[in-house]
């Protein structure tokens, strides 16, 4: 659809969004990160007060993560969730525009590096939690090439972040929309001993495993475990978290080798791997309950 052929409401929405972004960028340039954080507060308050849609989008997660919270408690959790997300967006723009100084610690980097140095490739599994784009940006220190299997154009937040950095990306994109879902390139990269990062939470297409997350079954992609097990690479779970106004943490939460002797064992091995990832994700959410950024009904995907 060309811009001119969009309905008036759609065009207006796009212009208002562009205006909103412009105001945030101007605030960032003039008043820095803190100024933009302050601007977030009235915007989020107004959004939360007037938009029913955002309530519907956050409810599937918040009702499971805070099951005993009453209406006010759930509303507060939504505000904290949105504020946390807004701050990550601000940080990303701030890093891109001003090369802002975020202090990061990387727990488990040595373990990750050791696995990379074994030369069997590494499937680095992460999720849409915390400031995960920052995590991807830190991977340039690994002693091998890093690839990200994703629909880059659909990952608007990541695209925005890395495009702001003059297109300097610390990883190469493998387009998951390409033929065979990018799996041939991903397999070849692992065979060369390189790293392939995959978002392990969102199921866009392809085969899935059903896991328990926050007390209910959810479907997550199977491809990462299949890929790792097929080439003999380890799966490494790494999540990022914003830990302060100017600090963040990357942590390797777990690592293992999915293994199977035959096709009969394969499905079970992938299911077990999915369950292990979900357990890691739940532990992360116990620690950082407001840094979940899948704003849709994750349990219906």
Partner 1 sequence: MEELKEKLKRILIDEIKIQGMTPADLKDDMPLFGDDGLGLDSLDAVELVVLVQKHFDVQIADMEEGKEAFASIASLANYIHQKKS
- Name every residue whose Cβ is closer than 8 Å to that of residue 82 and which is 6 or more positions away in sequence: 44, 47, 48, 54, 58
Residue with Cβ nearer partner 1 (227 or 237) = 227
Q: How many chain residues touch partner 1 (CB under 8 A)?
A: 21
Q: 258 near 229, Cβ under 8 Å?
A: yes
Residue with Cβ nearer partner 1 (191 or 210) = 191
Please identify, among the stretches 37-45, 89-97, 223-231, 277-285, the one whose residues bind partner 1 according to the rule CB under 8 A: 223-231
Q: Minimum distance from CB of 182 to partner 1 (Å)?
A: 8
Pick from 142, 141, 23, 41: which is nearest to 93 by CA? 23
Bridge-based pairing of strands 146-150 and 122-126 is unpaired
Residue with Cβ nearer partner 1 (172 or 212) = 172
**C-alpha count within 13 angstroms, C-beta hemisphere, residue 15:** 9
Q: Which of residues 128-187 bind partner 1 (CB under 8 A)?
A: 178-187
Work out which of 191, 210, 243, 282 binds partner 1, going by CB under 8 A: 191
Residue with Cβ nearer partner 1 (67 or 178) = 178
DSSP state of 181: G
Residue with Cβ nearer partner 1 (164 or 188) = 188
Work out which of 188, 203, 208, 267 binds partner 1, going by CB under 8 A: 188
Binding map of partner 1 across residues 239-278, x = CB under 8 A, - = no contact: ------------------------x---------------
Pick from 35, 11, 174: which is nearest to 93 by CA? 35
Pick from 300, 301, 286, 297: which is nearest to 55 by CA? 297
When computed from its CA atoms, the radius of gyration of the chain, rounded to whole angstroms, is 20
Please identify, among the stretches 20-28, 34-42, 98-106, 221-229, the one whose residues bind partner 1 according to the rule CB under 8 A: 221-229
Work out which of 10, 22, 206, 217 binds partner 1, going by CB under 8 A: 206
Work out which of 39, 223, 278, 281 binds partner 1, going by CB under 8 A: 223
Q: Minimum distance from CB of 187 to partner 1 (Å)?
A: 4
Helix axes 8-50, 71-98, angle to 10 degrees: 120
Residue with Cβ nearer partner 1 (71 or 263) = 263
Q: 248 near 221, Cβ under 8 Å?
A: no
Using rule CB under 8 A, residue 230 touches partner 1: yes
Handedness of CA 116, 120, 124, 125 (dihedral sign): negative
Using rule CB under 8 A, residue 227 touches partner 1: yes
Q: Minimum distance from CB of 227 to partner 1 (Å)?
A: 6
Residue with Cβ nearer partner 1 (230 or 282) = 230
Residue with Cβ nearer partner 1 (225 or 253) = 225
Helix axes 71-98, 156-164, angle to 10 degrees: 30
Q: 274 near 131, Cβ under 8 Å?
A: no
| Residues 265, 152: Cα–Cα separation, whole Å | 33
* Residues at the site binding partner 1, with contacts judged by CB under 8 A: 178-188, 191, 206-207, 222-223, 226-227, 230-231, 263
């Amino acid at each position: 659809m060309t811009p001119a052929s969009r309905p008036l409401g759609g065009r207006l929405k796009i212009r208002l969004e562009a205006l909103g972004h412009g105001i945030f960028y101007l605030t960032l340039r003039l008043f820095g990160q803190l100024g933009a954080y302050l601007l977030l507060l009235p915007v989020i308050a107004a959004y939360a007060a007037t938009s029913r849609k955002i309530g519907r989008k956050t409810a599937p997660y918040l009702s499971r993560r805070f099951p005993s919270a009453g209406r006010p408690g759930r509303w507060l959790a939504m505000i904290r969730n949105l504020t946390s997300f807004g701050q990550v967006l601000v940080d990303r723009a701030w890093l891109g525009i001003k090369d802002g100084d975020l202090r990061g610690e990387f727990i488990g980097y040595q373990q990750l590096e050791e696995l990379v140095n074994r030369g069997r490739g590494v499937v680095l599994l992460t999720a849409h939690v915390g400031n995960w784009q920052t995590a991807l940006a830190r991977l340039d220190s690994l002693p091998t090439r890093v690839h990200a299997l994703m629909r880059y154009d659909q990952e608007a937040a990541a695209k925005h972040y890395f495009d702001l950095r003059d297109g300097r990306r610390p990883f190469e994109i493998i387009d998951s929309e390409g033929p065979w879902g990018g799996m041939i390139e991903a397999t070849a990269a692992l065979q060369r001993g390189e790293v392939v990062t995959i978002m392990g939470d969102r199921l866009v297409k392809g085969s899935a495993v059903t896991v328990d997350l926050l007390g209910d079954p959810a479907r997550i992609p199977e491809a990462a475990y299949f890929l790792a097990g097929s080439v003999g690479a380890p799966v490494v779970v790494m999540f990022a978290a914003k830990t302060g106004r100017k600090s963040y943490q990357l942590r390797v939460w777990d690592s293992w080798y999915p293994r199977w002797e035959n096709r009969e064992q394969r499905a079970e091995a992938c299911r077990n791997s999915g369950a292990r990832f979900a357990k890691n994700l739940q532990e992360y959410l116990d620690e950082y309950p407001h840094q979940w950024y899948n704003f849709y009904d994750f349990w219906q995907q």
